Amino acid sequence: MQSLMIELTRITLDPAVMGGKPCIRGLRVTVGMIVGLLAAGRSREEILDAYPYLEPGDIDQALAYAAWRVEEREVALPTP
């Protein structure tokens, strides 16, 4: 898998919004919520109808962000 080449301009991280979870454009809509709705079988159209302030590009970037996070590897830092 190639590294993420697009800039995720629609994904925001703000400790004051949804506890710092990755959100769409500062809204109270998390990446996890969008991915969860898709995983539950909701179509893009259903999601956009239910959340009219979302745009198709928001769903695209939520999926791109989720894919990038799944591929990310965490390495524990040694403790002194």
CATH number of 63's domain: 1.10.10.10
Structural domain span for residue 41:
15-71
Q: Is residue 33 part of a domain?
A: yes
**Whole-prediction pTM value?**
0.81
Could you read off the pLDDT of 7-58 as tens digits, one per residue?
A: 899 999 999 999 999 999 999 999 999 999 999 999 999 999 999 999 999 9
Establish if 50 belongs to a structural domain: yes
Residue 34 belongs to some domain of the structure: yes
In a domain, 51, yes or no: yes
pLDDT value for 11? 96
Q: For residue 47, count other CB atoms closer than 10 A to its CB.
A: 19
Tally the domains of the chain. 1
Residue 79 located in a structural domain: no
Instruction: Say if 7 falls within a structural domain.
Output: no
Q: What pLDDT is recorded for position 5? A: 56
SS3 content of the chain, % helix, strand, coil (to 5): 45, 5, 50
